[in-house]
Structure 1
Amino acid sequence: MHTHKFTVGSLFAGVGGICLGFKTAEYRGLGYNLIWANEIDEYAGETYRHNFDHNLIAGDIEKIVDLNIIQSEQNRYINIMNEVATDEERIKYKVLIEKCEEEKQIYREKQKQILSSKIDVLNGGFPCQAFSIAGEQKGFDDHRGNLFISIIKLIRLLDSVHGKPRVLFLENVKNLMSHDGGRTYKVIKSKLEKEGYIIKEKVLNTMDFSHLPQNRERIYIVGFLNKKDAEKFTMFDNIGEFYINKTVDERVRDIKKVIDYTLTKNTGDKYYYTKEKYPKYFITEEEYDKIPESYRKDVRINLDESITEEYQFYQLRRGMYVRKNMSNVCPTLTANMGTGGHNVPLIKVKDGIRKLTPKETFKLQGFPVGNGYELPTKYINRPYPESRLYKQAGNAVSVPIIRLIAEQILRVLEE
């Protein structure tokens, strides 16, 4: 059997969920070879480098694909410098102008690296905060919404050197489809079609197409340059064939694989919710009655009373009420779950109630933590902040879903 690896470039790589899905995908001796990845966030970059050995090109993709952005910045500083009154202010702008000059050299080099190889597949989970229900849904009015345009610019740059990538693979929040009455996605699709791609898209829920116990609906967009390839890719038309139906008992087995039930208050006290730490979340009826009505919340919260079942996930919604996930799986992990207790899912364990650990959130996304994938413990000689890991897991993709689609793409690419 011949082996062949298709080359892959990865934008907005985060902690490498899409990369890992492609890296582990195989079909009849075919696979993928990751050439480069790009990520702007330094902490995510650290987690990425910890787990992959190919080239991570760190930096702002907008500047990599369009060096004129830095030139425009520099021109603006030159104009301001010529107008300011004091020497002190002039020195300040002179420094900024010199910084732009250095940046031009750095980003020219980054662009060279990205364009150094022919890419068969270009992928990216482009920033979704602009379209997300959890964000403010500003779409293209939000700077992050326009990062999509960098994908178009890169396709054109690659085309001028090697030809366009044969396949595009993009991921985003489900809400992208309905954002601004469907107009946002229409613009995205038409721009990709203008570059010559035949676009297919599908919203898939992680819990329905993998063994991960997480409710996570995302849109997956696949683009093919060749009509023949597009016709062979029938996965989204026959999606029922890939559906995984789970019983409650099977869900429990899957949950046991991601949750560390050996963790106790002694070994992981910081994850536990107790009355001492969170008195507002353990109010008895008696205590509630004693609170003057004007100070009382409408709903009395008592986690001990609300969180009663093991192998289930609960959420403390905005610190106002407790809700059990009705699908017997974990609710969608979010990027802001590291910013406060009320965003991270809660579970009942033998010795109390606790939130998920960063390791568990990564496992809920399908990262094989402890089995080929490791979370960093240090960043620039300081302890690595767990809030960053929670954010990274919330922003990540579900690896098995990526692998599934990547393998279906390999079936198409097989000559």
Structure 2
Amino acid sequence: MGLLDRFETKESDVNKKPNFTFIDLFAGIGGFHLAASNLGGQCVFASEFDDNARKTYEANFLKHNKDLFYSGNFAGNIIEVKAKDIPDFDFLFAGFPCQPFSIAGHRQGFDDKNGRGNLFFDIVKILKEKKPKAFILENVKNLKTHDKGNTIKVIYNKLQKLGYKVTDNVLNAMKYGNTPQNRERIFIVGFLEQKAFNNFSFPKKIELKKTISSCLEKAVDEKYYYNNKPLHKKLKDDITKKNTIYQWRRKYVRENKSAVCPTLTANMGMGGHNVPIILDNKGIRKLTPKECANFQGYPENYILPNITDSNLYKQFGNSICVPLVERIINNITLALET
């Protein structure tokens, strides 16, 4: 059974008891939600601040999880939510804001002037109140070395004080998720029970079978092509290979030589030329939002709502690699069953 099959919800499954329950914090467009649902999990609470991301989330999950939305358990600002009001759950998933810790950002961490770094402590409050069996926190790999390692020490200290046994690993989507994207992210996993912690291991490397071409659309709108546009003159001499992804670096073209897509980033939605570029039979063009979804491992039937491309690019750049996260969640469930 593949991702696409498992994403479909049958009427006979509506009243079926879930394998586990979870909450989805800083939910974005639901990468964690999708991965967990594929394993029989049920989301009982979600939180996402961005209005456009909320539209994408609702477009995909309202149909098969009406209780989440109609009960008021799809919150906006997590800061305004009282931990005691959140329904009980088994697992907490959170891709908490990475900009304060990323290489591409200002690396302000917990001192981020917009307060994004401090949102980690809202996760701590919820863990303290609800004490779920396990959690996954996801962030950029730079979190590991940020502030000479002090940031990760603070995170570990706060989580361990709550009684959690904690481990982490930096995993690449192309090596652990069978997804052709060079995307490294840190995953922090914690368990309340020592036995489950001892039984847990991160997924092992798997062969990358999916290719760039398997993620590309066959019919693409003309608006994505650079043909007859000013930038085309700067691109045409360097972008000469098909099934290769390039990037425009303001003054030069960069060829990705690893036969995968470079890391999709949130700033793809800014400036217009940050989206990876390819050459196909019709000419030079940027990836479409749907193709970015494919490079993150989203299923074919995942819905892209009627919002601007810039917002869709940002959303997929901020998202997680679904198949990789599904493998981690699966290992968590196995560790608890053993």
Same fold (TM over 0.5): yes
Instruction: Report the AA paired with residue 151 of structure 1.
Output: I
In the TM superposition, structure 1's runs of 4+ consecutive aligned residues that sit over 4 Å from their partners are: none
User: Considering only CA atoms, is the larger Rg found in Structure 1 or Structure 2?
Assistant: 1
User: Partner residue of 2:125?
Assistant: 153
Inter-partner Cα distance in structure 2 for 1:50 and 1:255: 27
Q: Is the 8 A contact 1:212 1:365 kept in 2?
A: yes
SS of the residue corresponding to residue 312 of structure 1 reads: coil
Question: Which residue of 43, 56, 59 maps to 1:50?
Answer: 59
Question: Which residue of 228, 233, 236 maps to 1:304?
Answer: 236
SS of the residue corresponding to residue 333 of structure 1 reads: coil
Q: TM-score, normalised by structure 2?
A: 0.89
Inter-partner Cα distance in structure 1 for 2:277 and 2:284: 7
What are structure 1's unaligned runs of at least 5 residues? 26-30, 67-110, 159-163, 283-301, 378-383
Inter-partner Cα distance in structure 1 for 2:188 and 2:178: 22
Inter-partner Cα distance in structure 1 for 2:111 and 2:230: 39
Instruction: Report the AA paired with residue 399 of structure 1.
Output: V
User: Partner residue of 2:7?
Assistant: none
> Does 1:271 pair with 2:194?
no
Inter-partner Cα distance in structure 2 for 1:244 and 1:405: 13
Inter-partner Cα distance in structure 1 for 2:48 and 2:106: 23
Q: Is the 8 A contact 2:75 2:81 kept in 1?
A: no
Instruction: Map 1:226-305 onto structure 2 (within 5 A).
Output: 226-233=193-200, 235-236=201-202, 242-246=204-208, 250=209, 254-263=211-220, 268-274=221-227, 276-279=228-231, 281-282=232-233, 302-305=234-237
Please provide the CA RMSD for this pair.
1.7
In the TM superposition, what is the alpha-carbon distance from 1:65 to its structure 2 partner?
Answer: 3.4
> Does 1:129 pair with 2:99?
yes
Instruction: Map 1:52-71 onto structure 2 (within 5 A).
Output: 52-53=61-62, 54=65, 55-56=68-69, 57-65=74-82
Instruction: Report the AA paired with residue 122 of structure 2.
Output: S
Q: Deviations 1:283-314 (Å, cap 9, x if unpaired)?
A: xxxxxxxxxxxxxxxxxxx3111011111100
Inter-partner Cα distance in structure 2 for 1:215 and 1:336: 16
> Does 1:169 pair with 2:147?
no
Inter-partner Cα distance in structure 2 for 1:320 and 1:342: 11
Q: TM-score, normalised by structure 1?
A: 0.73
Q: Deviations 1:320-377 (Å, cap 9, x if unpaired)?
A: 11011121111000001011233110000001100001111111111113x2x21112
User: Partner residue of 1:105?
Assistant: none
User: Partner residue of 1:108?
Assistant: none
User: Partner residue of 1:400?
Assistant: 323
Inter-partner Cα distance in structure 2 for 1:128 and 1:4: 30
In the TM superposition, what is the alpha-carbon distance from 1:3 to its structure 2 partner?
Answer: 7.3
Question: Which residue of 247, 264, 276 maps to 1:315?
Answer: 247
CA distance 1:58–1:118, change in 2 (3 Å):
closer
Instruction: Report the AA paired with residue 259 of structure 1.
Output: L
Inter-partner Cα distance in structure 2 for 1:58 and 1:408: 28
In the TM superposition, what is the alpha-carbon distance from 1:214 to its structure 2 partner?
Answer: 0.4
User: Partner residue of 1:385?
Assistant: 308
Inter-partner Cα distance in structure 1 for 2:75 and 2:304: 19
